[in-house]
Chains A and B, each alone.
Chain A
Amino acid sequence: MDNTLTLLGLLGTRPSHGYDLKHSYDRYFGAQKPLAFGQVYATLARLIKNGLILTLGEESGAGPDRKRYEVTEAGRSRLVEWMFTPDIPAATLQSNLFAKTVIALLLGDDAERLLDVQRAEHMSRMRELTAAKRGATLMNVLMCDHALFHIEADLRWIDLTAARLNELREQVRAA
């Protein structure tokens, strides 16, 4: 998740103080890892330097800081560009797991056990996320669902690979 652009997006809803911005972030996205104040102000300084936001002067807000910040036209353009540029689907875990599987086959080691260990770890994490959904807000439920569906996709790859392990073993050894 890009914290800089997420903060820029939150600021795009209305001009805010850094203190309020941090709490908005935590409410929507910080259930597991709240943002540090230092990170918020460092990000705001960087956004100002890049011309994506500006200060509106000093006013009293809910927190100790006095400055209010507002998104510039350049900032709004950057937000639109960010929102409508698709992310590159990440496949890091599968790539790593694929490498482990091939290496295990090359070494004559137990690749099926390797996949079982990973499956168990994935299922354990899925149970944690499913438990975390109980009584959670809809936003947190959907955040957990996002993670659950991604883990499930990995599991499907694990199951498919486990089912084709003999075939893969022959190809790896023949290569």
Chain B
Amino acid sequence: MSTAIATTTVPTPHTAVLLSARGLRVTFGHTEALRGVDLDINTGEVIAVMGPSGSGKSTLLHALAGVIVPDAGTVSYGSTPAETVEICALDETARARLRLTDFGFVFQFGQLLPDLSAIDNVSIPLLLGGMRRKDALRQARTWLGRLGLAEQANQRPTELSGGQAQRVAIARALVTGPRVLFADEPTGSLDSLAAENVMVLLTDVARETGTTVLIITHDARTASYADREIIVRDGRVTAGFALSASVAGS
């Protein structure tokens, strides 16, 4: 089976590469999850990562975010040579620090602490970063308002709809001002309208703040909010092709 990958090539205003993977290989037992991935992600881009189940999408996201260290290859993070770090070369503590300060994460479900209110959930990353509780709550409230949840600030996750809970999770992921947001099926458990509201808010906020976003999704409508999509098959991501050139050349 071919392991080609397609990416649409739409012109975007993004130029500086922020995340760059070269030759990424990840193996779990006898299974090769990633088989040599090369990928450049520009500052401020919103990218949809698509592909069949088990193709390596989540593994790719985890490797890019420094959650796992690949068996081979590099992940460079930074938009200038002076600030660029090799994520794979950092130890676990340094990678954890980087994830806390520079990256945000949103998952499909089960990510909010059920015993805490929405505002407490959102303030957690700030408290973990050493911010005073009063300041953390103020910032958390601002972000909840930005995501249309001002009135739900004191409600617990079980009192929120699925779409509201996902917006709380997005607020929590963005409250620290991350440069990259990694989202794994953020609309996977939502109905069409709730998914649309989440994606409109997520992409609006990301574009306002210049946050780079990687969204894993099976849903083409969710992917259509991105600037471009990449498709992972059998653990590989290859360079995209220009549609017109491809058609003209065939």
Chain A residues lying within 8 Å of B6, measured Cβ to Cβ, are: 116-117, 119-120
| Chain B residue, CB-CB nearest to A149 | B221
- In the bound complex, CA of A112 to CA of B220 (Å): 18
- On whether A127 and B224 interact (CB within 8 A), knowing A120-B8, A159-B52, the answer reads yes
Q: Is B2 at the interface (CB under 8 A from chain A)? A: yes
- Our pick among B4, B8, B52, B221 for the contact of A124 (Cβ within 8 Å) is B8
Q: Which of A112-159 contact B (CB under 8 A)?
A: 112-113, 116-117, 119-124, 126-127, 129-130, 134, 148-149, 151-152, 155-156, 159
Taking CB as reference atom, which chain A residue is nearest B222? Answer: A130
Asked if residues A123 and B246 are in contact (CB atoms below 8 Å), the reply is no
Q: Would B52 and A163 count as touching, CB distance under 8 A?
A: yes
Taking a contact as CB atoms under 8 Å apart, the answer to whether B224 and A148 are in contact is yes
Measured between beta carbons, the chain B residues less than 8 angstroms from A122 are: 220
Q: Digit string of A17-43 for contact with B (CB within 8 Å is 1, else 0)?
A: 000000000000000000000000000
Q: Which chain B positions have C-beta within 8 A of A120?
A: 6-9, 241, 243
B10 interface contact, C-beta 8 A: yes
B5, B8, B52: the one within 8 Å of A123 (CB): B8
A130 CB contacts on chain B under 8 angstroms:
221, 224-225
- CB A170 to nearest CB in B, in angstroms, measures 12
Answer whether residue B128 sits at the interface, using C-beta atoms and an 8 A cutoff: no
The CA of A54 and the CA of B71, in the complex, are separated in Å by 78
Q: How far is the CA of A160 from the CA of B224 in the complex (A)?
A: 19
* Chain A CB within 8 A of B82 CB: no
Interface SS of chain B:
loop
Nearest Cβ on chain A to B94's Cβ, whole angstroms: 37
A152 to chain B: which residues have CB within 8 Å? 220-221
Contact B4 A113 (CB under 8 A): yes
Question: For B229, what are the chain A residues with a Cβ–Cβ distance below 8 Å?
Answer: 123
Residue of A nearest to B240 (CB): A120
B223 interface residue per 8 A CB criterion: yes
Q: B4 to A116, Cβ gap below 8 A?
A: yes
List the B residue with the shortest CB-CB distance to A109: B250
Q: Beyond A112-B4, A127-B10, A166-B1, is A148–B221 a contact (Cβ under 8 Å)?
A: yes
Say whether A121 contacts B243, CB under 8 Å.
yes
Tell me the dominant secondary structure on chain A's binding face.
helix
A124 to B244: give the CA distance in the assembly, Å: 12
Q: In the complex, what residues of A have CB within 8 A of residue B2's CB?
A: 110, 112
> Which B residues are CB-close (under 8 A) to A156?
220
Q: Which of A122, A129, A130, A163 has the most CB of B within 10 A?
A: A130
B220 to chain A: which residues have CB within 8 Å? 122-123, 126, 151-152, 155-156
A124 touches B246 (CB 8 A): no
Measured CA separation A109–B243 after assembly (Å): 17
CB-based contact B246/A113 at 8 Å: yes
Q: Could you tell me the distance in whole angstroms from the C-beta of B192 to the nearest C-beta in chain A? A: 8
Which residues of chain B are within 8 angstroms of A159 by Cβ–Cβ distance?
52
CB distance from B113 to the nearest CB of A (A): 33
Assess whether A124 is in contact with B1, with CB atoms less than 8 Å apart. no
Residues of the B chain whose Cβ atoms lie less than 8 Å from the Cβ of A113: 4, 246
Q: Which of B19-54 contact A (CB under 8 A)?
A: 52
How far is A129 from B7 in the complex, measured between Cα atoms in Å? 18
The answer to whether A117 touches B224, judged by C-beta atoms less than 8 angstroms apart, is no
21 A-B residue pairings within 8 Å (CB atoms): A113-B4, A116-B4, A116-B5, A116-B231, A116-B241, A117-B243, A117-B247, A120-B6, A120-B7, A121-B243, A123-B8, A123-B223, A123-B224, A126-B220, A129-B224, A130-B221, A130-B224, A151-B220, A152-B220, A152-B221, A163-B52
Taking A116-B5, A117-B247, A120-B8 as known contacts, 10 extra A-B pairs with beta carbons closer than 8 A to each other, sorted by chain A number, are A113-B4, A113-B246, A116-B241, A122-B220, A123-B8, A126-B224, A130-B224, A130-B225, A134-B200, A156-B220
Show the binding face of A for B, using Cβ within 8 Å.
110, 112-113, 116-117, 119-124, 126-127, 129-130, 134, 148-149, 151-152, 155-156, 159, 163, 165-166
